[in-house]
Amino acid sequence: MDRWGGTVLNVKKSYTEQFRPQFHLTPPAQWMNDPNGLVLYEGEYHFFYQHHPHSNVWGPMHWGHAVSRDLMHWEHLPVALEPDEHGHIFSGCCVVDWNDSTGLFEGSHGLVALFTHADQHPETGQPRQRQSLAYSRDKGRSWSKYKGNPVLEESGLIDFRDPKVFWHQETDRWIMLLAAGDHIRFYQSENLQEWEYSGEFGSRDGSHDGVWECPDLFELPVEMSGGISKWVLIVSIGDHPSYPEGSRTQYFVGHFDGRSFVNEDSANSIRWLDHGRDNYAGVTWSNSPDEDGRRLFIGWMSNWKYANLTPTESWRGAMTLPRSLSLREQDGDIILIQTPVREATGLRKQTKELRGITLAPHTPFRTEVQDDLLEIEAEFEAGSSSEIIIKLQYSEPNETLIGYNSREQWLYIDRSASGLTSFHEAFACRHGARLRPSQGRVKLHLFLDRSSIELFADDGSVVLTDLIFPEGTVRSIEFSTDSGEAVLTSLCIHSLDSIYALEETSYAGK
């Protein structure tokens, strides 16, 4: 037994359990939620995450840890941060302290983690959230807590968590964002240890359907704009019983002056990062852009409405595919674009290509598939049809529908009959988003894993991410219309390799 009462394990995992994703990041065992501490350092993408190593439901939070060189294949490392006398280890970030501003690296450089310590106030018993620091001198393999923890607290705030820190060149300062219930607070520092409040944003902006969490802020160029760039602020909002969507993520586009953020939209406008039900708490990698100029993002693929109830046993929780973010001007607006990282193409093993297929209500096109790990690229001309329907048919009487209604310009996923859904009343549903194809054709890019769908439309201008729990394996894909004719102008179906196909991963729990 370890100091927290859990059993120390050293178990080889085959990753073959029912519903276990085969090309998405999952914990070797037990519970996973929010991505934390994402940082690119000396050729490795570090991924930390909220982790309960002794249960498959949320509990005392630790930081799990994995590293990768290609964003697809991950090596799981021991738990990086454990609860201590200051509390549990909630969400946070990592930065590279290149110039040893902390004085912790003897004139060299290393990794610094800033995170929320969560406990109860000893006098009032109220929840208490304070910000703390840890550091690593060996590329993240071991971590030391700073002796002066916590480094920042606001006694009047109960919700005060999820620090995201970056270096702001123009002001020569470290900047910290923190979620504070219904707004974001900003702080500045020269050494990552002493912080000064500089401003806040959001108490009257965007959606307040739930508590604000997991902020991120970064600058992106606008495609084809001649050098114009904008700042993007990402904010997740927690589940509220009154809203069927549950937890989800919004974003704002605007300006940052080193002290606070200014939203360029009207205060009551809302931009959703993902229109599915299962992309939450996502953030980007620090020390980014990477060598290819990419701003890389990943989210937790679940929803707080049912995250503790999904039908898995030895593990629970998965991440989205890593995505590259950009900004694009469309219909006079600047929108956030998400595309799967190019490294995902390395999983392709076989491809079926078809072109020029006419679709009609009584003449659907069906193609058999031999694999349950799929990447599908499809392009349609809507023609006289009012709705194009893609049916993913499973060996059991389960099916998941993807549709586009051209009259309403509405893209949707219907998982009502997708398999196991009874674990929560809100899971079986049909939901979607407005889609006005920028090139006049409906372009869909779909990734299907054993318990998820990620749908990128119109080159990433609209994204839907959903969990599904089919009781069988996918056997065929059917394309049809509900009325009139449409043309499936091109179709590529790629069967994908499992990231575990070549080796098993060992795990030593702490």
Q: How confident is the model at residue 4 (pLDDT cuts 50, 70, 90)?
A: very low
44-97 confidence digits (pLDDT tens): 999 999 999 999 999 999 999 999 999 999 999 999 999 999 999 999 999 999
Closest by CA position to 313, among listed 466, 89, 469, 424? 469
| pLDDT > 60? residue 8 | no
Write out pLDDT tens, residues 443-454. Answer: 999 999 999 999
Model confidence at 289, pLDDT cuts 50, 70, 90, reads confident
**Helix, coil or strand: residue 345:** helix
3-state secondary structure of 366: strand
Tens digit of each residue's pLDDT (9 = 90 or more) over 320-347: 999 999 999 998 899 999 999 999 999 9
- Euclidean distance between CA atoms 505 and 73, whole angstroms: 10
- Which residue has tokens 């002056």? 257
The residues assigned a catalytic role are: 34
Residue 241 has a pLDDT of: 94
What percentage of the chain exceeds 90 in pLDDT? 89
Is the per-residue pLDDT at 7 higher than 70? no
What confidence tier does 438 reach under pLDDT thresholds 50, 70, 90? confident
Which pLDDT tens digit goes with each residue over 188-210?
999 999 999 999 999 999 999 99
Tell me the β-bridge partners of 418.
none
Residue 291 has pLDDT above 90, yes or no: no
Using the CB atoms, write b or e for 274-283: b if 16+ within 10 Å: bbbbbbbbbb
Scanning the structure block, which residue is given the tokens 């994703």? 21
Tell me, what's the pLDDT at 225?
A: 84
Which alpha helices (DSSP H) does 330-439 contain, by range? none
Look at residue 113 in the predicted model and tell me its pLDDT.
Answer: 98
Residue 26: Cβ-neighbour burial (10 angstroms; 0-12, 13-18, 19+): buried
What is the tens place of the pLDDT at every residue in 276-287?
A: 999 999 999 998
Q: Which residue has the higher pLDDT, 268 or 144?
A: 144
Backbone angles phi, psi at 342, to 5 degrees: -60, -25
pLDDT tens-digit profile of 355-383?
999 999 888 999 999 899 999 999 999 99
Compute, in degrees rounded to 10, the torsion defined by CA atoms 174, 179, 183, 188: -20
Average pLDDT, the chain: 93
> What distances in angstroms separate CA 43 from CA 71, 174, 251, 292, 446, one per listed residue?
11, 23, 29, 12, 29
Residue 501 has what pLDDT?
67
Are 335 and 271 in contact by the 8 Å Cβ rule? The answer is yes
Task: Locate 484 and state its tokens.
Answer: 């009139």
3-state SS assignment for residue 126: coil
pTM of the model: 0.94
Contact 365, 359 (CB under 8 A): yes
- 395 — pLDDT class (breaks 50, 70, 90): confident
